[in-house]
Amino acid sequence: MSARTVLLSALGIAAAGSVLIGAWPWLAARIANGDASAGTIALGKTLYAKHCAACHGPNLEGQRDWKSPLPSGRMPAPPHDASGHTWHHSDGMLFRITKEGPAAVVGGGYQSDMPAFGKVMSDEEIRAVVAFIKSTWPEQERAYQAEMSRHERETTQ
């Protein structure tokens, strides 16, 4: 192999590495969001504002004192930002809670003010809302939630 060939190969590898390093934040965000596109996340943001923000807050902050029952005995809407517990749940669980409502998922006579959205939003729209919410979390919360989702996929197959 000539010195010129070695040099060109090294330059090619360095250029490819630079492209990958430059693309890493974009690639990491796509992986963390279940490969959700920017368009999917934008749709989710719009749908969240329309269907979720009235209770969960326009900035995903949830209702005040969300860990204490309301006078009705029901729980306030929790935050969906990193201060809440949404990121503790797998994609499948978040999808089911949104589509079927918490009462249907929790069972045992649990009552919630959150309705089921399965007749209001399509499955794709529900997934877009979840992708939007996930896109707002810091890296550590996204990684934890991705692991929960991976574990769920492995145990249900």
Q: What is the pLDDT of residues 82-114, one digit of tens each?
A: 999 999 999 999 999 999 999 999 999 999 999
pLDDT at 87: 96
- Asked whether residue 2 is assigned to any structural domain, the reply reads no
All residues at 6 or more sequence positions from 67 whose CB lies less than 8 Å from its CB, including other chains: 75
- Asked whether residue 140 is assigned to any structural domain, the reply reads yes
pLDDT at 19: 44
Which CATH number belongs to the domain containing residue 112 in this structure?
1.10.760.10
For the chain, how many structural domains are there in total?
1
**How many angstroms separate the CA atoms of 13 and 24, rounded?**
16
A 10 A CB-CB count for 113 gives 15
- Asked whether residue 21 is assigned to any structural domain, the reply reads no
pLDDT at 5: 52
Mean pLDDT over the full length of the chain: 85
Q: What is the pLDDT of residues 9-50, one digit of tens each?
A: 444 454 444 444 444 444 444 444 456 999 999 999 999 999
- Asked whether residue 60 is assigned to any structural domain, the reply reads yes
- Asked whether residue 24 is assigned to any structural domain, the reply reads no
Domain extent at residue 58:
33-155
- Asked whether residue 16 is assigned to any structural domain, the reply reads no
- Asked whether residue 8 is assigned to any structural domain, the reply reads no
Please state at what angle helix 123-135 crosses helix 3-32, rounded to 10 degrees: 110
- Asked whether residue 55 is assigned to any structural domain, the reply reads yes
